[in-house]
Structure 1
Amino acid sequence: MEGLDQAKLNAAVKACEFLKSNFNFIGIIGLGTGSTIKKFINVCKDLLENKIIVPSSFDTAIYLVNMGYSNIRDPITARSVDVYIDGADEVSEKLDMVKGRGGAFLREKSIALRAKTRVYVIDHSKFTGKPYLYLKPIPIEVIPAALPVVLDGVKSLGNVEAVLRMDSSKDGPVVTDNGNFIIDLRFTSPILEPAVMHERIKRIHGVVETGIFPSFLVDYVVVGYPDKTVLLQRGA
């Protein structure tokens, strides 16, 4: 665990240095959710303190407030974002991603779609080096009233098990910041065309968003190791 913590910290430090060295236009920064993003917030105070920050979740917003930041803007009021920083749960060789263990992927994707540049910060255990997605379940956010329809609809996807995500801190399912449920889709075979699978899932009535982030939503990925970092660029 210590090795992964160091890897996350190294990636966060590298991402901060990369942003400060290569982007002079930053006025509005979008921030994702998760432990790596919290490390980024901790190590990149000098970059964040003079910027407008658009958090992707209540969790990130509360963390920022507790760290003393007041320059926070709700995503609904930010029409564009200069740079978006986030983590990921799985990254393929082609830089397709799976996100969503923190449950904030709908808002994360909404901010990523309006960002001019997107930088993802991960530890090496999240980078598979494979040309497909296979390691993590694909989360989908669904409207509660449509849950039975969604559970029937995902059967058309083939070899997949649909599991309603339950909340360990209370009785019942996880409820997102948007008031929806999350279903984790556990595929028994690799997802060779993530963008196509994303579109297939979105066509199911009741599905609001998927945790598949196709590579067109990715510009850079900083991969942290215990003793180094690697910067990956889409199309490089």
Structure 2
Amino acid sequence: MADATVESAKRAAAQQAVKDHFDPSATNVGIGSGTTIVYVVEAIKEISTNPAIRFIPTGYQSRQVIVKAGLTPVAFDSLPEDTMFDVAFDGADEVDAELNCIKGGGACLFQEKLVAEKARKFVCVADYRKKQERLLTVWPTIPIEVAPIAVPTVLKGLRTLGSTNPKLRTTLLEKSGPLKTDQDFFIVDAPFKTLLIEADVKAGKGKGDGSDGTWEVNKLSEAIKALTGVLEVGIFSGLNGPDAETIRSTDGVKTVTSGQKPVAVYFGMQDGSVEVRTAK
């Protein structure tokens, strides 16, 4: 019964998200990974009458979902560099009050972030279990994609940052060794204390820079990303879709930052309703 409730919640959230954000005249649509995305593609298939739409998957699994639905998959790196996607749909392992997400439970975080950052709007679809006020409330770890040769170095660095017991993720058959991503990298799962949001730091609930044992979402993501050997971090934070491709200048040095956070998160609830959190 519990499983049926969860699946029903996922389908309801997917249908509402697609109804609100999918444009049948779109050109490029990003499709994420995971079980919830199956229902997103199902909902798109029901209303899409445009065979010219290109669907950009975030990995092998999402490509198979697109193909099975009779839609047209296109490889991310086959598109011109200035291509922006009309929308990208993806799931999450946990979402906080400021729409920061933890992703990577399915080991596709790097390609998921590439697609999210290329979307004019990234829309997240999840069930009620993923709806929390702070990250690392229920979901236990931050997934991190790491170069195989750098695993020992990254594990040491994570412990220095305060992770209690970071571990290399193995396959279900442990004798088969570490799980490999689509990039042939490994995944390290790093536990940390429940993360602060920007509002917590402003309210004086912690420094959020690790110096007092507290980490704010963005600062921890930056600290982990700075470790040599880390390809990408399973924290989706910072800007959201409307701010994508923003050029920021710090001390005269220009940097380009892209949107990682969703503009909206659709949570399918136990009672069949759908709750929506939007960017403030």
Could you state the TM-score of these two structures normalised by the residue count of structure 1? 0.92
1:186 to 191, 195, 210: 191
Partner of 1:3: 5
Partner of 1:118: 122
Give the AA of the match of 2:263: D
Q: CA RMSD in A?
A: 1.7
What fraction of aligned residue pairs are identical, expressed as a percent?
Answer: 31
Shifted more, 11-20 versus 60-69: the winner is 60-69
2: CA distance between counterparts of 1:25 and 1:66? 21
1: CA distance between counterparts of 2:219 and 2:129? 25
Indicate if the aligned counterparts of 1:36 and 1:121 stay in contact, CA closer than 8 A: yes
SS in 2 for 1:88: coil
Task: Kindly provide the CA deviation profile for residues 175-213 of structure 1, in whole angstroms up to 9, marking residues without a partner as x.
Answer: 0000100000012x2111111100000111101101001
Indicate if the aligned counterparts of 2:163 and 2:190 stay in contact, CA closer than 8 A: no
Partner of 2:137: 134
Against the structure 1 CA distance between its residues 48 and 74, is the aligned structure 2 distance closer, same or farther, given a 3 Å change threshold? farther
Task: Kindly provide the CA deviation profile for residues 86-138 of structure 1, in whole angstroms up to 9, marking residues without a partner as x.
Answer: 0000001111110011110100001111110110000011001x145432210
Deviation at 1:215, TM superposition (A): 5.1
2:269 to 220, 225, 232: 225
SS in 1 for 2:189: strand
Partner of 2:233: 210
Deviation at 1:144, TM superposition (A): 0.4
1: CA distance between counterparts of 2:187 and 2:166? 10
Partner of 1:29: 29
1:54 to 32, 53, 56: 56
Indicate if the aligned counterparts of 2:94 and 2:135 stay in contact, CA closer than 8 A: no
Give the AA of the match of 1:94: E
1: CA distance between counterparts of 2:92 and 2:276? 15
Unaligned runs of 5+ in 2: 197-215, 240-260
SS in 1 for 2:176: coil
Shifted more, 115-124 versus 75-84: the winner is 75-84
2: CA distance between counterparts of 1:12 and 1:24? 16
Deviation at 1:147, TM superposition (A): 1.2
Q: How many residues are paired up?
A: 230
Partner of 1:93: 97
Give the AA of the match of 1:179: D
Against the structure 1 CA distance between its residues 160 and 61, is the aligned structure 2 distance closer, same or farther, given a 3 Å change threshold? same
2: CA distance between counterparts of 1:132 and 1:62? 30
Against the structure 1 CA distance between its residues 215 and 223, is the aligned structure 2 distance closer, same or farther, given a 3 Å change threshold? farther
SS in 2 for 1:68: coil
1: CA distance between counterparts of 2:58 and 2:161? 29
Give the AA of the match of 1:162: P
Indicate if the aligned counterparts of 1:94 and 1:215 stay in contact, CA closer than 8 A: no
Partner of 1:40: 40
2: CA distance between counterparts of 1:190 and 1:12? 28
Give the AA of the match of 1:134: T
Considering only CA atoms, is the larger Rg found in Structure 1 or Structure 2?
2
Deviation at 1:39, TM superposition (A): 1.1
2: CA distance between counterparts of 1:104 and 1:211? 9
2: CA distance between counterparts of 1:11 and 1:123? 7
Unaligned runs of 5+ in 1: none
Indicate if the aligned counterparts of 2:146 and 2:186 stay in contact, CA closer than 8 A: yes
